[in-house]
Chain A
């Protein structure tokens, strides 16, 4: 109805200059006309231009007075010619009408209000307020002084009126075909798809979001790191044992019992189960001996080694605890070279901040063979890290109780334009390996790094809690791209 009116009118006329007037002339709702114009404009059948007008409308209070008369007139009419007791007049009227009405009536000098008695001062009054309000309601012109007076009394308020002026659009037709938004099974069955005209598709908006599942970014990176190890011929160590004894976590690694890492500041010691009950006794003896007095060419640390310290249970502080178990097992058989890796959870008694968590994932690689040298370690590190996308490496001498030589691994970050530490490495000390029973000429080279750090650099995340833990943003998990190590590591951060 409204659409037909608009399109038909434009068939013969150049322009609808005012949609409001157009609606009024035809007795149509202006809102309907507006909706139709918007829709026709969207399909480019018409070309609509905004027009705006300011106009006055009655407030709720104004509407009341337009109907029932202004408070002052209501009050005036409630006063009989002989006057009335103030109390009685008050009873006859609503309190707001009485209050406002008496103020205005006094101001207009219509009434005399004594302490107890109210009487008329004039016999006739005209309800100018009501007349003005009705004029405004009907859209008639009112003088600006009157507008001001009504505005002051909050009886009217300004409203922006919106409408359109309308001309033919580029796709104008006197009657529009119903624009299709999609091709349906019915369209195909009926064969009417040939007649369909499609609403223009907005390619600058994105498509419909898909339902589906998403994997965690950190574990996507873990998968790729696993792939790297497998391609380099490393086999995975079983790391599903978070509870570990100090013995395997520290003592077996020739880490002295007074070492700062063994403080409760750094390590979670357990209340329950508090101690380890079974350790390989003959091996424990050899470990004790090498700590206290050395052997295998070493001076030892020269302190009294305590079994109680070794028995203390903890949450493993590094996956090297697992490596020490694996190497010990390896030493119990005729020697065969091995390449091991693991990626799993480790625990540190640390305050949580932007870069530290009490638990994180450690990546560890271990190679065990006769005659391995520092040059092999450097070679394998280059191979491994270049696959992570870090091919520019350099090494800094460092100290670690269970490796010698020890090297910190630095990688040049093209984005940050500086060298950043990316891991630690070294050759396990003879004091660690030989008590296990490994042959003297067997060297073990190893390196470790966290899974979180390269992941954060890879995805440009600067708060570790955004990546790992319950404070993660699910949106980030969903938006996270596939993990392609080695391709985008350096330039994406």
Chain B
């Protein structure tokens, strides 16, 4: 996206009011441009020279660097930006650009010689009469050429612009292509004559110009524009002649654009003349030039005609997704510099005839018109249509993520029963039933199904016991629900998602289970903190009956106990008939939600 630097105060003056930076950013955002940077001339220079910031910047002119869309050539200068924003803000009417009506005799002519087809076949021209420049306008005029050269002109390969003080030259002009050695002139910023081939050599060391030499280098003929006295206007796309250079005092400007792409040449010429005709005595009026090709074809340029595009209202509302009355659509389009005339056809369909001004070469199709309606309406005012979609259960999603992580550190997943015997849930774990925890089955068909588990421990211990012959160590885990009595629920009980893991081997693996707790905390992004700190987790020793005293701990997460781990008490191991030492961890996973 091209960036345009403009003086903030000049811009605000042109916009007829001042803005806070925030307000201006808001305006830019709505219109589809962006305030990229706020700086000053001196700051830019300091930056280039890698100097530090200095004090006392208040008196420096503030520069706004504004990013504009790459297809809006009319926004590449302050004049165009200000005009577009003023119309957008409803301050100005859309300007009508006119080609001055002049009689046949006073038409300036540009004769194209056939050799130009070998190197750069097209030229378009125009004249700005009675222009008033001041320093700022003059700089803007030069900058716009630079920006056009950089952007649409593709670094002068497609189009090159030459601007001249018309009062120093005399038409008719000729556009020729000659062997380099035959072209002799004093180029801009130089004081002596150069032959064109010599000049190419000379500019090898010119940082700015050497980038363009390749466009014509090696060609047997170079393009060149002469006036009727054989004064060289320019050697496109490299350099203009010094003779016709424009100055602050220039009143009449002759603009020529030579090109390999005629469409773009016209866009460039139109951009130049529409933007700066605002400073002509006859505002928005441009004087035409006749371009005559060797085959006798004759063109009058610039072509400032308005392009008419028929756009049905229904198309616009269909694209935007908002039904809008035709009057509103027309006024929205007006703010985007598009005049829309209403026409209702026989079958009552509402159509607009949209007038696309010569400044809006970006409008190619009715979809571009529809976009402008949407922009003026406000993208952020368009109501959203909710698409159909599904949302996964976040608890299950979390469970799956944790399960993957635990398997990846070498634990094997087991899936055990929710139901177990009363003994397994309590006495075999050295636990006492406080009668306020477990859901009890009323009609179990077997003792294995008496209780709904309140912990994953019995299932996991039974799995370990059943796998006595499995090579040690055994590392297993389970993520699953336990059920707890809960007065606050309609049915008096609630599920809770637990995580549990067991290590069983020649020794207890207590430190490894401790490490597993750390890993769960790491993958849930929980920091390890000192005891008492509520932002992360810490471990403190515990005293639970199912674990060996001195080798067990509580896991404290954000100040709350969420689980325990420890060496399984040898009595518990014996109860489950496990001959090897085990360590076990169990925690409430729902707290990570």
Show the binding face of A for B, using Cβ within 8 Å: 182-185, 187-189, 193, 197-198, 200-201, 203-204, 206-215, 227, 231-233, 258, 260, 294, 296-304, 367, 371, 373-376, 378-383, 387, 394-399, 401, 404-407, 427, 429-431, 443, 479-484, 487-488, 492
Contacts and interface: CB of A to CB of B under 8 A. Distances in A.
Contacts of B394: 487
Nearest to A394: B380
A378 B384 contact: yes
A204 B379 contact: no
Contact of A405 (B1, B30, B374): B374
A232 B387 contact: yes
A490 to B, nearest CB: 14
A231 B389 contact: yes
Interface in B29-85: 29-32, 34, 69-72
Contact of A203 (B322, B512, B519, B541): B541
A303 B261 contact: yes
- Among the interface residues A210, A376, A480, A487, which one has the most CB atoms of the partner chain B within 10 A? A210
A376 B550 contact: no
B102 interface: no
A208 B515 CA distance: 5
A222 to B, nearest CB: 14
Contacts of B389: 231-233, 383
A299 B518 contact: no
A483 B523 CA distance: 9
B364 A427 contact: no
A183 B548 contact: yes
Interface string B186-198: 0000000000000
B296 interface: no
A375 B382 contact: yes
A382 B371 contact: no
Contact of B319 (A193, A197, A215, A373): A373
Contact of A207 (B154, B318, B518): B518
Contact of B385 (A185, A378, A427): A378
A387 B508 CA distance: 43
Contact of B523 (A381, A398, A443, A481): A481
B581 A201 contact: no
By Cβ-Cβ distance, the 7 closest A-B pairs, closest first, are A207-B514, A373-B321, A397-B32, A375-B321, A212-B409, A399-B69, A302-B263
A258 B152 CA distance: 8
Given A185-B581, A207-B516, A210-B512, A399 B70 contact: yes
Interface in B12-33: 29-32
- Among the interface residues B321, B368, B508, B567, which one has the most CB atoms of the partner chain A within 10 A? B321
B580 A206 contact: no
A300 B365 CA distance: 8
Contact of A379 (B386, B516, B524, B580): B386
21 contacts: A183-B510, A185-B507, A201-B510, A201-B541, A204-B539, A207-B513, A207-B516, A210-B519, A215-B404, A231-B390, A258-B154, A298-B365, A371-B318, A375-B321, A375-B322, A379-B387, A395-B379, A397-B69, A407-B379, A430-B367, A484-B397
Interface in B285-337: 307, 318-322
Interface string B395-437: 0011001101100111000000000000000000000000000
B408 A398 contact: no
A484 B397 CA distance: 8
Contact of B367 (A214, A378, A429): A429
Nearest to B392: A231
A482 B402 CA distance: 7
Contacts of A204: 530-531, 538-539
Contacts of B366: 297
B106 to A, nearest CB: 31
A330 to B, nearest CB: 19
Contact of B410 (A185, A212, A407): A212
The SS class assigned to the B binding surface is mixed
A184 B262 CA distance: 90
Given A183-B508, A231-B389, A298 B364 contact: yes
B191 to A, nearest CB: 36
Nearest to B578: A188
B319 A482 contact: no
Nearest to A294: B364
Contact of A374 (B30, B374, B508, B551): B374
B338 interface: no
B383 interface: yes
A299 B364 contact: yes
A485 B64 CA distance: 37
Contacts of A367: 387
B374 A482 contact: no
A430 B365 contact: yes
A114 to B, nearest CB: 72
A482 B524 contact: yes
Nearest to A182: B507
Nearest to B385: A379
A187 B506 CA distance: 10
A215 B550 contact: no
Given A299-B307, A405-B374, 7 more contacts: A182-B567, A183-B570, A185-B505, A188-B580, A200-B550, A201-B510, A381-B384
A460 to B, nearest CB: 11
A227 B392 contact: yes
Contacts of A233: 388-390
A439 to B, nearest CB: 14
A483 B541 CA distance: 31
Interface string B546-586: 00101101000000000000010010010000011100000
A460 B505 CA distance: 40
A29 B446 CA distance: 69
- Among the interface residues B158, B531, B548, B551, which one has the most CB atoms of the partner chain A within 10 A? B551
Contact of B409 (A193, A210, A407): A210
Contacts of A207: 511-518
Contact of B365 (A231, A297, A387, A484): A297
B375 interface: yes
A381 B32 CA distance: 18
Nearest to A189: B579
A189 B580 CA distance: 9
Nearest to B391: A231
B261 A258 contact: yes
A404 B579 contact: no
B264 interface: yes
A183 B365 contact: no
B374 to A, nearest CB: 5
A391 to B, nearest CB: 12
A335 B570 CA distance: 70
Nearest to B322: A375
B321 A258 contact: no
Contact of B371 (A200, A397, A484): A397
A211 B516 CA distance: 10
Contacts of B534: none
B514 A206 contact: yes
Contacts of A407: 379
A374 B321 contact: yes
A184 B382 CA distance: 70
Contacts of B263: 301-303
A211 to B, nearest CB: 6
A406 B382 CA distance: 14
